[in-house]
């Protein structure tokens, strides 16, 4: 009965589809708005007394969550950019998160997650490619706002870890031709989480355009080539580890992310898939099918 109540609760939540606006004037070098608007505190987070974003731990308590910090920082920064009025302290939220990221970056160039990722069998202490890429976007903008070179140095270290092979403790899974897939949650076998890869790629694109390099070209070429693996015909997959459809909100996020990535890279594969998935998102039958297929798949997996 508890499982049924949970299923119904998730179904009702999925009926409320979030909107993820895309910045039409985002630039590959990151000088301007972040490609995606996220102007709110992520669910399950709060600000500590210093203004740093913290996320709830599964076992109680709170911890600084780099991805949540970056979503909040970049969303608030986009609000300032859109307003076109440089008010004093308007970019305080971004600089607060950037200062925390710079101060707490470890010797490897990253920020370890102190909580496990049970979905992928990953114990606490893992690095996230999504966090590395998004932190890069925050740090680059902090350097622009302050003129402080140390933020650029921190961005360099973040990208170095992002591109380090997962087998060597980094966040990239390389194919036989040397092209990286940027892993939100590195594991073996590789997870290939779609939204995390795109968020990470945004940061890598901005870094390479700003400070030099071509790793982003290999990463976006591989993602464009492998994108059909995420397409179920009627919906998108969250990752390639599990065969189930994404939730409605993650499907909507995929639509927005690929639209933004298509604009940023002028790659038709991203724009075309975004357009296709946008049509399925608007179709009530596809939405119902995605929910039922996922619920049935998870139920069978748990019983098995």
Quick: pLDDT tens for 118-157: 999 999 999 999 999 999 999 999 999 999 999 999 999 9
pLDDT band at 2 (very low <50, low <70, confident <90, very high): very low
Q: Given this model, what pLDDT does residue 86 score?
A: 60
Q: What mean pLDDT is reported for the chain?
A: 92
Alpha-helical runs (H) found in 227-267: 248-265
Q: Given this model, what pLDDT does residue 4 score?
A: 46
Residues 6+ apart with CB under 8 A from 8: none
Termini Cα distance of the chain: 18
Q: Given this model, what pLDDT does residue 38 score?
A: 82
For 272-284, what is the mean pLDDT? 97
- Whether 105 shows a pLDDT value over 90: the answer reads yes
Alpha-carbon torsion angle 29, 31, 32, 37, nearest 10: 50
Cα 270 from Cα 200, distance rounded (Å): 15
CB 68 within 8 A of CB 24: no
Cα 260 from Cα 273, distance rounded (Å): 12
Among 86, 210, 187, smallest CA distance to 137 is for 210
pLDDT band at 91 (very low <50, low <70, confident <90, very high): confident
User: What is the maximum span of the chain, computed from C-alpha positions, in angstroms?
Assistant: 58
- Whether 42 shows a pLDDT value over 80: the answer reads yes
Long-range contacts of range 143-147, CB-CB < 8 Å, 24 or more positions apart?
144/31, 145/91, 145/94, 145/95, 146/95
Q: Given this model, what pLDDT does residue 3 score?
A: 46
Angle between helices 248-265 and 268-282 (to 10 degrees): 150
- Whether 14 shows a pLDDT value over 90: the answer reads no
Its pTM stands at 0.93
pLDDT band at 5 (very low <50, low <70, confident <90, very high): low
Q: Minimum mean pLDDT among 80-94, 124-138, 178-192, 209-223: which range?
A: 80-94
CB 89 within 8 A of CB 109: no
């Amino acid at each position: 009965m508890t499982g049924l109540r949970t299923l119904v609760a998730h179904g009702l939540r999925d009926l409320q589809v979030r909107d993820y606006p895309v910045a039409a004037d985002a630039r590959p070098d990151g000088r301007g708005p972040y490609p995606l608007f996220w102007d709110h505190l992520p669910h399950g987070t709060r600000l500590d007394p210093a203004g740093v974003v913290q996320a709830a731990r599964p076992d109680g308590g709170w911890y600084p969550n780099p991805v949540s910090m970056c979503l909040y920082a970049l969303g608030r920064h986009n609000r300032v950019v859109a307003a076109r009025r440089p008010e004093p302290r308007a970019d305080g939220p971004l600089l607060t998160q950037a200062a925390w990221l710079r101060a707490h970056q470890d010797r490897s160039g990253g920020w370890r997650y102190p909580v496990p990722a049970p979905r992928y069998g990953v114990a606490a202490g893992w690095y996230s490619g999504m966090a590395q890429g998004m932190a890069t976007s925050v740090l680059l903008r902090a350097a622009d706002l302050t003129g402080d070179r140390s933020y650029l140095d921190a961005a360099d270290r973040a990208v170095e870890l992002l591109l380090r092979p997962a087998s060597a403790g980094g966040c990239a899974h390389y194919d036989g031709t040397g092209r990286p897939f940027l892993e939100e949650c590195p594991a073996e076998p590789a997870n290939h989480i779609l939204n995390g890869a795109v968020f990470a790629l945004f940061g890598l694109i901005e870094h390479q355009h700003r400070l030099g390099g071509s790793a982003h070209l290999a990463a976006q070429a591989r993602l464009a080539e492998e994108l059909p693996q995420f397409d179920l015909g009627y919906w998108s997959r969250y990752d390639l580890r599990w065969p189930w459809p994404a939730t409605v909100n993650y499907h909507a996020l995929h639509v927005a992310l690929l639209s933004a990535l298509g604009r940023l890279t002028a790659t038709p594969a991203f724009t075309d898939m975004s357009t296709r998935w946008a049509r399925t998102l608007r179709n009530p039958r596809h939405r119902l099918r995605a929910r039922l297929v996922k619920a049935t798949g998870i139920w069978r997996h748990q019983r098995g």
